[in-house]
Each structure stands twice: as C-alpha cells, then as structure tokens.
C-alpha cells in the first residue's frame, strides 16, 4: 500500500497569512493526488485533483503543486472560513490512502 505522510500535523496562522502544507507519497504516484478540506462535524470537501487542478467553485487562493512523491497545498491568503483540517489522498492505486491530516488553527 502507498503511505501518505503530511506535514505539519498542525499549523497556527493568522488571517491573510500564506500557508503551505506538504504531502509525501511512499512511492511515485505521478499526479494522482487530491486534496480535501474538512470542518468539524462535516463531510470532507473536494478542493484539488490531479495534484494541481482546482475543483469547480473552489476559491483561487487554493493551489496545488507537485508530482511523483512530493506535493504541496498552498493557501495564498488565509481567510476565516479556511480554518479546518486538510487531507491529501493518493488516487494512483487501490487501496486509496489518505494523509494523516493538517489542522489549520487560528493564531
């Protein structure tokens, strides 16, 4: 199985800050990577697919990059509604696997 490792596990940031989250795959997955946002008590929301493609309706302050084993999710200017937990997920092969999550907290 492909292991997905996210870092950091949590980050404290202020509104307006640039936030970067890293995700590393245990083996190459090309660009088969997705990112999700989850708020407490809610289902995850699909943000980015194919490593860098923004899902329809997702604000442009979110961006993704990377290929192979190393990927990043960047929020260019953090907004109040962005405080949440973010997960990466590889879609290269079954079983699908998620990273452990990164909680973005208010500083």
Partner 1 sequence: QVQLVESGGGVVQPGRSLRLSCAASGFTFSSYGMHWVRQAPGKGLQWVAVIWYDGSEKYYADSVKGRFTISRDDSKNTVYLQMNSLRAEDTAVYYCARGHRSGIDFWGQGTLVTVSS
83 binding partner 1? (CB under 8 A): no
Q: How far is the CB of 37 from partner 1 (least distance, A)?
A: 11
Closest Cα to residue 40, out of 88, 100, 104, 97? 104
SS3 80: helix
Query: How are beta strands 10-13 and 102-106 bridged, if at all?
Result: parallel
Exposure of 34 in the CB half-sphere (CA atoms within 13 A): 16
71 binding partner 1? (CB under 8 A): no
Q: How far is the CB of 106 from partner 1 (least distance, A)?
A: 20
The contact mask relative to partner 1 for 37-56 (x = CB under 8 A, - = no) is -x---xxxxx--xx--x-x-
What span, in angstroms and rounded, lies between the C-alpha atoms of 59 and 51? 16
Question: Where does this chain bind partner 1 (CB under 8 A)?
Answer: 1, 31-34, 36, 38, 42-46, 49-50, 53, 55, 87, 89, 91, 94-101
């Amino acid at each position: 199985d492909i292991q997905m490792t996210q870092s950091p596990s949590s980050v404290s940031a202020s509104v307006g800050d640039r936030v970067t989250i890293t995700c590393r795959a245990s083996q190459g997955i090309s660009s088969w990577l997705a990112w999700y946002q989850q708020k407490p008590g809610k289902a995850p929301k699909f943000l980015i697919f194919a490593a860098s493609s923004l899902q329809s309706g997702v604000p442009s302050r979110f961006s993704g990059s990377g290929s192979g084993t190393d990927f990043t999710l960047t929020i260019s200017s953090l907004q109040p509604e962005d405080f949440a937990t973010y997960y990466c997920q590889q879609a290269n092969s079954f079983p699908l696997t998620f990273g452990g999550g990164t909680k973005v907290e208010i500083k």
